[in-house]
């Protein structure tokens, strides 16, 4: 039974939105009238998807969050393990979710399943919500007859990815806020405090120290050129955004990231973690290795690392070793390569990939925690140094005036 998105007005004049299942749009309108609501529009959920797929502002354009996808996957796995048909599982999960967009999405998937599509084929109609990794894993689970176990693995994987993402974001929030506050305090001192003090020195007509002259110059620059600098940064930001859509520009930026001493290590660590965990879930779900490598390459955020994984897939197709192909790129840590090599030799590649992903995740979390712990005292030292320079620049002329009076 297809799903329909509706917009109506209730008896109190309030707008109501939602999703209903019916054989036709006319039947949905009749259901709304039976409730005492006035139908405004009734559209098939698939039409919303079509506009999103064509680049419009459709309902499924932004997809679902990682946490919501993990929750829905976990619920589906539980219901399917209980022997409930897939279409009934999708209907039950759609009723459980609170977001109308997700409810409409699940009902649209259910409509495809009722029409005779497999679950993986139905999910492929909505690529914005269900990534290729997700669809390939579900397809492998359906072919092997262990869809409930595969969905459980998918839920674990999605939850782990969500936790790592939130951990990185949470670790970066404090340094960013501290940096912005420090910059704002320095700009406030140079713009409002220093000019009032400088007036006293200018009236004395004495020779000022070099440090004080430098402070006066910095204050004049901040007061006069500060707004123009801010305006220039905004213009540069909007001018640079179209350049980021060009593949050559993004490739150069990604290459530059890998060359930076600390940022490069973070980028390599994050991508190695993402690659190992993705390849692990795919191989455990019986997806062929070459196909799994192609999908794992797409989840990499760095174009150079993505190309290296694609080249490794070509070498594996030609009969080469996965560990040797990845090791030649130089983007992956030696310990991870050793574990992959051991997994290839012992026939337990999926298990070794899981261990490598856990090891890389712990190492990345430890590195981020250490950097955040070092950043706080370093920023305090920088701020103390800036304030000390400002105080010295103000105090030196005062001491000089006291010496002259003495």
Q: What is the pLDDT of residue 137?
A: 79
| Banded pLDDT at 33 (limits 50, 70, 90) | confident
- How does pLDDT run across 63-88, given as a tens digit for each residue? 577 788 888 888 888 888 888 888 88
Fold observed for domain 1-130: Receptor-associated Protein (1.20.81)
Among the ranges 12-26, 188-202, 371-385, which has the highest mean pLDDT value? 371-385
Average confidence score pLDDT of the chain: 78
**Does the structure show a pLDDT above 80 at 178?**
no
Kindly write down the DSSP assignment for every residue of 137-203, as one continuous string.
HHHHHHHHT-HHHHHHHHHHHHHHHHHHHHHHHHHHHHHHHHHHHHHHHHHHIIIIIHHHHHHHHHH
Comparison of pLDDT for 259 and 20, the residue scoring more: 259
| Banded pLDDT at 42 (limits 50, 70, 90) | confident
**Does the structure show a pLDDT above 70 at 58?**
no
Give the residue-averaged pLDDT of 214-231: 74
Which residues touch 216 (CB under 8 Å, ≥6 apart)? 194, 198, 208
Which residues touch 50 (CB under 8 Å, ≥6 apart)? 58
Instruction: Write down the residue that tokens 């992903």 correspond to.
Output: 357
| Banded pLDDT at 204 (limits 50, 70, 90) | low
| Banded pLDDT at 402 (limits 50, 70, 90) | low
Comparison of pLDDT for 376 and 113, the residue scoring more: 113
* Same fold for the pair 1-130 and 131-406: yes
Return the domain boundaries, the chain: 1-130, 131-406
Whole-angstrom distance, CA of residue 137 vs CA of residue 348: 19
Q: Which CATH superfamily is domain 131-406 in?
A: Type II secretion system (T2SS), domain F (1.20.81.30)
Give the residue-averaged pLDDT of 358-363: 84
Give the residue-averaged pLDDT of 262-291: 84
**Does the structure show a pLDDT above 50 at 128?**
yes
């Amino acid at each position: 039974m297809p799903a329909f998105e509706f917009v109506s007005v209730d008896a109190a004049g309030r707008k109501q939105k939602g999703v209903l299942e019916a054989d036709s749009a006319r039947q949905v309108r009749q259901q709304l009238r039976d409730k005492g609501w006035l139908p405004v529009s009734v559209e098939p959920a698939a039409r919303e998807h079509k506009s999103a797929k064509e680049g419009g502002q459709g309902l499924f354009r932004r997809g679902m969050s990682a946490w919501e996808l993990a929750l829905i996957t976990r619920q589906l796995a539980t219901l399917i393990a209980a022997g409930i048909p897939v279409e009934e599982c999708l209907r039950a999960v759609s009723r459980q979710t609170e977001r109308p967009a997700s409810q409409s999405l699940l009902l649209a998937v259910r409509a495809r399943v009722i029409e005779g599509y497999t679950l993986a084929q139905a999910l492929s109609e909505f690529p914005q919500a269900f990534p290729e990794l997700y669809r390939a894993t579900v397809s492998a689970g359906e072919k092997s007859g262990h869809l409930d176990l595969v969905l459980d693995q998918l839920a674990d994987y999605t939850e782990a990815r969500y936790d790592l993402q939130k951990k990185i974001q949470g670790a970066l929030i404090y340094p960013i806020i501290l940096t912005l506050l420090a910059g704002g305090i320095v700009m406030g001192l140079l713009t409002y405090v220093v000019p009032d003090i400088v007036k006293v020195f200018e009236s004395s007509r004495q020779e000022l120290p070099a440090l004080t002259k430098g402070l006066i110059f910095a204050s004049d620059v901040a007061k006069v050129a500060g707004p123009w600098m801010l305006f220039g940064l905004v213009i540069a930001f909007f001018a640079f955004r179209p350049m980021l859509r060009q593949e050559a520009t993004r490739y150069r930026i990604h290459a530059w990231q890998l060359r930076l001493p600390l940022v490069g290590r973070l980028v390599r660590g994050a991508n190695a973690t993402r690659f190992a965990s993705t390849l692990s879930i795919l191989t455990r779900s019986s997806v062929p290795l070459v196909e799994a490598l192609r999908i794992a390459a797409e989840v990499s955020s760095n174009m150079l690392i993505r190309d290296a994984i694609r080249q490794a897939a070509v070498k594996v197709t030609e009969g080469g070793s996965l560990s040797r192909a990845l090791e030649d790129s130089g983007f992956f840590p030696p310990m991870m390569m050793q574990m992959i090599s051991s997994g290839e030799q012992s026939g337990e590649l999926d298990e070794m990939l899981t261990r490598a992903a856990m090891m890389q995740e712990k190492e990345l979390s430890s590195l981020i925690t250490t950097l955040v712990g070092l950043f706080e005292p370093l920023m305090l030292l920088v701020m103390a140094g800036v304030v000390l320079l400002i105080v010295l620049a103000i105090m030196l002329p005062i001491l000089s005036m006291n010496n002259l009076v003495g």
